[in-house]
């Protein structure tokens, strides 16, 4: 193996080695049923399955994570109580192309459940990535395609895996697949500036062969480098701008939050957290202290699924619809956070434990950040008659992590506000997926790229795409019995009740069943959704509630009968509501890799279960439609999207009134 090959392999290993994170483990002294698995517990789960004859040295442990106890047991738990300790395990047998999942009782060291899941393909594994590298680079057809484009040093080509999806192709049925793209790295640190357009290798991972090679014709590989390190940028653009004067974030008396194992306490907020290998950072048992009592708000909140569909229908692009959670395990791709850039200098960085595919455990450093940040003006009022001017400066608590998914980076911030609001900030950055097109001076083609993308550099086009995120929010507003109410604001018609034509009212409609609770946003009526506890009233006689305040959003542009819409049915509605059910966790289903579709929310809600005054789960889908611009190149400035949960009638006055100056 030459130097370039070793370097390429090392870089890929660094990108993908984060696969299989299990959960954030700050302590091995388990004090709570939701504490994540320790290193010892991960290893024990694998050992129990091997000892029972369910797994062998050849087995691949795609997931080993906490099997969360029933919600009722968690809510009834008191410090010092005994509680169950179980692991959920996904095992893949490559030789047989079979997937099994299991629940292992770690207390008794027994296999509690074991089942084969026919036709299921678990998410990507590190081993899959190495197989793709070896198989594609050694394939004669691929090598010939590279030579046609003037590339003879195959070790300098980055072979990048993409999910295969499911398009009903007969020759792909029942095979564990990856579609492999090619980028010429050369000496550049930015391979995405050099796409080898039109070449796609469909790889049979188990037989370790190229099932078929797609070559749609030669397009010149763009030559210009766009490395983004300081030295490269300065060489390309000239002297860097003068740095702003130092900004120091100092807390001389220490942080205002308290970490107790996996519990955080800050400014009347109480919550637990973990890093799940699939979902990323998960919040548990979120409550707010009010009048000496911690009132429940959210039992469990997490990213349930995400999908990124691209809008280019060509043969080498139509399949690019990535489920970055269900296919790539976005939580397991958490990156070490860099102080003073990813997080401010006052952040506390925390570690995580990941499971390897062999069933061992490895600790990864600094993948979760926790810090306080300035929140701007919290509230203000000046009275000119009394010459008084009262205002307060706000503070926010941020729980954050970043994940690297190939060319793209996603950051997720759970933000706690002093006024009782809880916010999710999804941050989109990284490098756009690129397509090679004819150079500007070629005399051919549209200099602005084709209709499916926009030119961002000479010979480089970024393709139109969308990002959709679905969050599963098991809200417990003052208890488990809740009702979701849709609010629409409407203008009254002219008449006796509206003599000056200025009147508008809000209409509240409870969402009574699952089918009626599949809802879209409506800008014309300022549509929003309120989760109330009809059994609890504030001092004004109103039911206590929390509002889902929506931000930026989109509707899917792929056709309803497209493969991506069949598999990502959750994008069909912005809002879904279901009864709380332990095995309904992922909006597109548990096994999304190469799935045919129809699973998850579309399947569950067909039962049309009642929702009023029940323990309900709110599923919110928000999306970003990205029409690329040159300013997004070569690395995209952070774009934020998300939502906020805001108290409505939960308190009878501003809960931040007691914040001191």
Query: What does each C-alpha distance from 343 to 322, 398, 599, 642 come to in angstroms?
Result: 28, 10, 37, 19
CB 636 within 8 A of CB 630: no
Contacts of 142 (CB under 8 A, 6+ apart): 136, 182, 199, 201, 210, 213
DSSP state of 606: G
How big is the CA angle at 569 (ends 164 and 578), to the nearest 5 degrees? 135
User: Which residue's entry shows tokens 């179980």?
Assistant: 86
Assess whether 586 carries a catalytic annotation.
no
The closest alpha carbon to 642, from 525, 527, 553, 531, belongs to 553
User: Which residue's entry shows tokens 């800008």?
Assistant: 523
Contacts of 41 (CB under 8 A, 6+ apart): 85, 87, 106
How big is the CA angle at 639 (ends 570 and 187), to the nearest 5 degrees? 105
The closest alpha carbon to 470, from 369, 559, 601, 368, belongs to 601
Q: Which two tokens stand for residue 242?
A: 């003068």
Long-range contacts of the stretch 254-261 (C-beta < 8 A, 24+) = 255/346, 255/348, 255/371, 255/372, 256/372, 256/395, 257/370, 257/372, 257/397, 259/26, 259/348, 259/370, 261/26, 261/27, 261/29, 261/31, 261/32, 261/35
The span from the CA of 137 to the CA of 140, in Å, is 8
Assess whether 35 carries a catalytic annotation.
no
How big is the CA angle at 275 (ends 274 and 278), to the nearest 5 degrees? 130
Spot the catalytic one: 92, 288, 408, 586.
Answer: 408
The span from the CA of 275 to the CA of 123, in Å, is 17
Q: Which two tokens stand for residue 118?
A: 């026919």
Strand order in the sheet with 98-105: 60-66, 86-93, 98-105, 110-116
Spot the catalytic one: 101, 324, 474, 476.
Answer: 324
Q: What is the DSSP string of 520-551?
A: ---GGGT-EEEEEEEEEE-TTSPEEEEEEEE-
The closest alpha carbon to 37, from 74, 59, 62, 68, belongs to 68
The span from the CA of 492 to the CA of 26, in Å, is 56
Q: Read off φ and ψ for residue 626, nearest 5 degrees.
A: -105, 105
Report the half-sphere exposure of 142 (CA within 13 A, side-chain side).
30
Q: Read off φ and ψ for residue 213, nearest 5 degrees.
A: -120, 125
H/E element holding 103?
A: strand 98-105
Would you state the torsion angle of the CA atoms of residues 14, 58, 323, 637, taken in this order, to the nearest 10 degrees?
0
How big is the CA angle at 550 (ends 548 and 553), to the nearest 5 degrees? 145
The closest alpha carbon to 309, from 565, 597, 508, 499, belongs to 565
Query: What does each C-alpha distance from 39 to 49, 66, 98, 360 come to in angstroms?
Result: 16, 12, 26, 8
H/E element holding 234?
A: helix 230-237
Q: Which residues are catalytic?
A: 324, 408
């Amino acid at each position: 193996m030459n130097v370039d090959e070793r370097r390429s392999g090392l870089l890929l290993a660094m990108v993908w080695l984060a696969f299989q994170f299990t959960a954030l483990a700050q302590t091995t002294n388990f004090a709570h049923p939701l504490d994540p698995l320790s290193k010892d517990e991960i290893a024990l789960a694998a050992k129990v399955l091997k000892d029972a004859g369910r797994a062998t040295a050849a087995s691949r442990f795609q997931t080993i994570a906490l099997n969360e106890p029933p919600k009722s047991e968690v809510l009834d738990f008191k410090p010092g109580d005994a509680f169950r300790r179980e692991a959920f395990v996904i095992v893949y047998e490559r030789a047989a192309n079979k997937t099994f999942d299991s629940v292992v009782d770690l207390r008794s060291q027994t296999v509690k459940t074991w089942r084969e899941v026919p036709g299921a393909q678990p998410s990507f594994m590190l081993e899959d990535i190495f197989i793709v590298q070896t198989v594609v680079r050694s394939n004669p057809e691929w090598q010939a395609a590279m030579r046609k484009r003037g590339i003879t040093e195959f070790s300098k080509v980055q072979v990048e895996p993409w999910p295969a999806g499911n398009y009903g192709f007969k020759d792909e049925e029942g095979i564990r697949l990856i579609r492999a793209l090619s980028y010429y790295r050369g000496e550049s640190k930015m391979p995405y500036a050099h796409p080898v357009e039109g070449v796609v290798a469909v790889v049979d991972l188990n037989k370790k062969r190229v099932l078929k090679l797609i070559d749609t014709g030669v397009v010149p590989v763009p030559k210009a480098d766009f490395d983004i390190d300081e030295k490269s940028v300065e060489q390309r653009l000239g002297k860097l701008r003068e740095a702003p004067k130092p900004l120091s974030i100092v807390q001389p008396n220490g942080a205002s939050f308290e970490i107790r194992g996996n519990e955080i306490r800050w400014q009347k907020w109480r919550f637990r957290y973990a890093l799940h290998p699939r979902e990323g950072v998960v919040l548990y048992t979120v409550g707010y202290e009010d009048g000496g009592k911690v009132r429940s708000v959210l039992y469990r909140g997490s990213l349930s699924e995400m999908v990124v569909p691209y809008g280019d229908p060509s043969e080498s692009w139509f399949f690019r619809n990535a489920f970055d959670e269900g296919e790539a395990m976005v939580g397991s791709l958490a990156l070490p956070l860099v102080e003073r850039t990813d997080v401010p200098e006052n952040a506390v960085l925390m570690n995580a434990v990941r499971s390897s595919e062999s069933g061992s455990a490895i600790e990864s450093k600094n993948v979760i950040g926790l810090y306080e940040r300035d929140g701007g003006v919290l509230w203000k009022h000046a009275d000119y008659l009394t010459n008084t001017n009262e205002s307060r400066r706000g503070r926010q608590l941020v729980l954050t992590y970043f994940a690297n998914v190939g060319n793209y980076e996603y950051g997720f911030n759970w933000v706690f506000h002093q006024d009782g609001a809880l916010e999710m900030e999804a941050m989109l950055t990284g490098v756009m997926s690129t397509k090679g097109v004819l150079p500007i001076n070629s005399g051919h083609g549209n200099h602005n790229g084709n209709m499916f993308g926009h030119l961002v550099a000479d010979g480089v086009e970024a393709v139109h795409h969308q990002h959709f995120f679905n969050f599963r929010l098991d809200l417990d507003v003052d208890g488990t019995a809740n009702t979701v109410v849709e609010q629409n604001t409407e203008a009254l018609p002219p008449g006796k009740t509206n003599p000056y034509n200025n009147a508008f009212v809000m209409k509240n409609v409870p969402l009574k069943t699952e089918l009626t609770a599949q809802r879209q946003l409506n800008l014309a009526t300022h549509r929003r959704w309120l989760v109330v506890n009809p059994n609890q009233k504030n001092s004004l006689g109103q039911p206590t509630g929390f509002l889902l305040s929506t931000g930026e959003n989109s509707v899917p542009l792929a056709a309803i009968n497209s493969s991506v819409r069949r598999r990502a049915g959750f994008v069909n509605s912005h809002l879904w509501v279901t009864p709380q059910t332990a095995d309904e966790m992922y909006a597109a289903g548990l096994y999304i890799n190469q799935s045919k579709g129809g699973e998850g929310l579309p399947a569950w809600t067909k039962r049309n279960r009642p929702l009023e005054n029940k323990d309900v789960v709110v599923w919110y889908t928000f999306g970003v439609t990205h029409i690329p611009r040159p300013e997004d190149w070569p690395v995209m400035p952070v774009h934020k999207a998300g939502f906020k949960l805001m108290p409505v009638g939960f308190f009878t006055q501003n809960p931040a009134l007691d914040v001191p100056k």
